């Protein structure tokens, strides 16, 4: 059995066949080095479902291409166990892409255990909006940097073939969770991707938020409007300046707001000796405990750019990120919460809160 397999430059069928053959020939406890030009998490979950064998895997670097990961073969799953996928070492965009593909491929009655470093509740709303009321969602554990959720598809999907990245029926989302959930996911969709929103009316307050936060880097189209139901499609585009040039830096980490002088640095957080899951837990806990106007210096052994993408998707406009050192084996980043003010003004016309 090879200790390493190369899955680059192969069709999806060829990649799956080679991966399944090698895993099926492995013994419990064997570890296989895998190199692939795309994420193989959906195939690893599918293998567990079809072959009734548990797998664990970890990427060498969350943002490296090609993908390099170690896959360890475990014991048989048994009748009562579900396959597991731990997404804590994937950046947010890749998490959602993999999880949506995995759920799409489930048959009725199949499921998996999701392991995440925070509550994946936005995924629940997304799956329900995309597939209908066919999701069984049970928390096995919560908090402490390890949230485990058992997700089962209970029936045939109602998903449409429309060309959108994701859909949210906000009528099914508690009001206090609507805007954070939408911004969380919108930050992850690729340029040119479309998010569809189904609301009881046109969500104009949300449209104002998008203008304030994303400028002209999106289009907003009402594709259906009737009493109690409005369907809006929001497409992510490049922003343009007055000369019409593309703002190529819009998605770059260097474009993150920087307030070195105004932030009070409270501590230095060195996570180099911690495993990845514990690193993220400590970093997010440290950020949650920050007061407005304060920050900390993160010390890491590689560029924590995937962490930036997660903060950008989940944190508000007060989030600040500034590189202070970028050397092999030692990266220092100032992470902070700026003091911000929120414009809560509304148009003169009366609106029902969204």
Determine what percent of the chain is predicted with pLDDT higher than 90. 53
Q: Does domain 164-236 have CATH number 3.40.190.10?
A: no
pLDDT tens-digit map of 19-78: 999 999 999 999 999 999 988 999 999 999 999 999 999 988 867 788 899 999 999 998
Domain borders along the chain are 3-153, 164-236, 264-337
Query: What is the predicted pLDDT for the residue at 1?
Result: 52
Domains 3-153 and 164-236 alike in fold: yes
Give the global pTM: 0.70
The tens digit of pLDDT for each residue in 158-197 reads: 766 578 999 999 998 988 888 888 887 888 888 899 999 9
- Candidates 15, 42, 16, 21; CA nearest to 105 is 42
Long-range Cβ pairs for the range 168-173 (8 Å, 24+):
168/125, 168/126, 168/129, 168/195, 168/196, 168/197, 168/198, 169/128, 169/129, 169/198, 170/197, 170/198, 170/199, 170/203, 170/354, 171/198, 171/199, 171/200, 172/125, 172/128, 172/129, 173/125
In terms of CATH architecture, what is 3-153? 2-Layer Sandwich (3.30)
Mean per-residue pLDDT, 254-283 = 76
**Pairwise pLDDT comparison (118 vs 249), residue with the higher score:** 118
CATH class of residue range 264-337: alpha beta
Instruction: Report pLDDT for 243.
Output: 41
**pLDDT for 314 beyond 60:** yes
- Describe the strand order of the beta sheet including 84-86 as a list of residue ranges: 84-86, 111-116, 147-153, 135-141
Question: How much is the average pLDDT of 238-249?
Answer: 48
| Average pLDDT of every residue of the chain | 85
In 240-304, which ranges are E strands? 264-270, 294-300
Q: How confident is the model at residue 108 (pLDDT cuts 50, 70, 90)?
A: very high
Residues 265-269 have a mean pLDDT of 91
């Amino acid at each position: 059995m090879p200790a390493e397999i190369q899955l680059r430059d192969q069709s999806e069928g060829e990649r799956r066949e080679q991966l399944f053959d090698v895993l099926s020939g492995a013994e419990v406890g064997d570890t296989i080095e895998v190199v692939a030009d795309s994420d193989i998490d959906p195939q690893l979950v599918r293998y567990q479902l079809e072959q009734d064998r548990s797998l664990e895997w970890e990427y060498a670097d969350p943002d490296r291409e090609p993908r390099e990961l170690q896959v360890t073969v475990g014991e048989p799953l048994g009748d009562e166990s579900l396959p597991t996928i731990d997404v804590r070492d994937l950046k947010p965009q890749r998490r959602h892409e993999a999880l949506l593909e995995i759920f799409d491929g489930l048959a009725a009655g199949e499921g998996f255990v999701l392991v995440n470093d925070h509550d994946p509740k936005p995924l629940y709303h997304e799956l329900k909006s995309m597939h209908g009321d066919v999701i069984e969602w049970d928390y096995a554990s919560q908090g402490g940097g390890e949230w485990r959720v058992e997700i089962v598809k209970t029936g045939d999907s109602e998903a449409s073939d429309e060309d959108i990245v994701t859909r949210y029926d906000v009528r099914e989302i508690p009001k206090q969770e609507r805007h954070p959930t939408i911004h969380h996911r919108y930050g992850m969709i690729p340029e040119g991707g479309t998010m569809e929103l189904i609301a009881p009316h046109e969500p104009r307050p949300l449209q104002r938020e998008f203008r304030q936060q994303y400028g002209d880097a999106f289009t907003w189209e009402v594709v259906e409007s009737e009493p109690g139901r409005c369907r809006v499609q929001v497409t992510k585009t490049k922003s343009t300046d007055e000369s019409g040039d593309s703002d190529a830096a819009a998605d770059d980490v260097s474009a993150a707001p920087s307030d070195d002088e105004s932030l009070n640095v409270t501590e230095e957080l060195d996570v180099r000796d911690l495993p990845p899951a514990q690193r993220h837990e400590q970093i997010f806990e440290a950020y949650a405990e920050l007061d407005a106007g304060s920050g900390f210096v993160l010390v890491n052994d590689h560029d924590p750019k995937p962490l930036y993408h997660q903060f950008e998707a989940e944190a508000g406009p007060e989030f600040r990120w500034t590189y202070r050192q970028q050397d092999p084996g030692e990266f220092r980043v100032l992470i902070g919460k700026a003091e911000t003010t929120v414009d809560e003004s509304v148009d003169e016309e009366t609106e029902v809160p969204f």
